[in-house]
Amino acid sequence: MLVSGGETLLDEVNELWQKLNNMLLGCSKDFKQHYRTLTFEKRKLALQKKAANGEIRVTLAVNQNANEKAGYCISILNDEKVGEVESLFVSSAYRGRGIGDALMKDALAWMNVNGVEKKLVAFSAGNEQVFGFYMRYGFRLRRTVLEQV
C-alpha cells in the first residue's frame, strides 16, 4: 500500500534513509566521508531548503501485513516548476516486487498533475546500477558533474 503526503511525512523515512545512506557509504569510492557524516537531520534540512518555495511529496510503501515500511520516494517541486526525484529506496527484502516502479510512477504522476516543466533525478557515484531503472521512465544522461575530493 502507498501512503503519500507532504513534508510532515519526512520523519517516517528516517530508518529506510539510514539504510540507503549505509548502502551508499559501502559503494562510494571517493566520498565515504560524506556518507559517514551525513545525518538524516542534515538531509532533511537540505530538502526543506531546496523546496522552500515549492512542495515536498513523500510516498511510503507499507507492508500492512508485517506492519513495516518497504520503501519510500521523496520528490520535490520547486518554484520554477522543476520536479526532482530526490530519494528513492526499497528495502532489500522487498526488491523485485514492483515497489520501486509503483513509487516512481506515483512521483511522476504527482509532477504531471502539478504541471512540472522539467523532471530530474540524480544518483550517487558508485550506485550506477540504478541507471537502467531510471531510463525505463524516460530519463537520459544530460550532463556529468565532477566534485573535487
pLDDT, tens digit (0-9, with 9 covering 90-100), for 10-54: 999 999 999 999 999 999 999 999 999 999 999 999 999 999 999
Which residue ranges make up each domain of the chain? 2-135
7 contacts: CB under 8 Å, gap ≥ 6: 48, 51, 56, 58
Classify residue 50 as exposed, middle or buried by CB count within 10 Å of its CB (0-12, 13-18, 19+): middle
* Mean of all residue pLDDT scores within the chain: 96
d(CA 97, CA 102): 10
- CATH 3.90.1150.10 for the 2-135 domain, yes or no: no
Give pLDDT, residue 133: 97
Instruction: State the pLDDT at residue 32.
Output: 96
Confidence at residue 64, expressed as pLDDT on a 0 to 100 scale: 87
- The model's pLDDT over 68-82, given as tens digits with 9 standing for 90+, comes to 999 999 999 999 999
